Structure 1
Amino acid sequence: MTHKELKNKALKNISVLKQYDELEPEFSLLKGMLMARREIGLSQAQIAERMGTKSPAITRLESSLSSGKHSPSLATIKKYAQALGCHLEIKIVYNNSRV
């Protein structure tokens, strides 16, 4: 079974879907970070050097977003974006069910 098939099967479970939806902002941020790093062609070690840290710190940063166990600070994410030659944009968006 592929990752996509397994994910789709798991998301049919309402409680799994709810938890997944709650983590969507983190998944979206991680996807953007990884896509930008790959498009620019930099390794974790190169990002770490540009940020003035070690490669394992970048590994932890990228994996923390996928695990949902730790939320890195905005300052750290901003430094990561700057190391890529990018900038960080943050938006607050109304939910469909505004009160």
Structure 2
Amino acid sequence: ALFDEMLKARKQAGFTQAEIAERMGTKAPAVARLESGGGSSKHSPSLGTLRRYAEAVGCDLVVRLIPRQS
């Protein structure tokens, strides 16, 4: 899923959570919560947060709508 892809992208880029946090302008615990799918929080990350994360790890964020099969 998305959060697994995020963690994989960060590791492939060779960054720590602290480095990503610095690049995003936030703190490492926030990145840890983001990568874990929000932890115990019921808050879902905004598209802006996901874009900042993607940029920090050197990726593009793509959101797609796929038609349902009738």
* TM-score of the pair, normalised by structure 1: 0.63
Cα distance in 1, alignment partners of residues 21 and 52 from structure 2: 10
**Counterpart code for 1:86:** C
Contact 2:3 2:37 in 1 (8 A): no
- Larger proportion of helix: 1
Which structure would you say has the larger Rg? 1
Following superposition, the deviation at residue 91 of structure 1 comes to: 0.4
Structure 1, unmatched stretches of 5+, are 1-27
* TM-score of the pair, normalised by structure 2: 0.85
Cα distance in 2, alignment partners of residues 68 and 92 from structure 1: 26
Percentage of pairs with the same residue:
53
Structure 2, unmatched stretches of 5+, are none
| Higher RCO, Cα 8 Å, sep 6+ | 2
Following superposition, the deviation at residue 50 of structure 1 comes to: 0.5
Equivalenced residue count is: 70
**Counterpart code for 2:43:** H
Is 1:36 equivalent to 2:9 in the alignment? Answer: yes
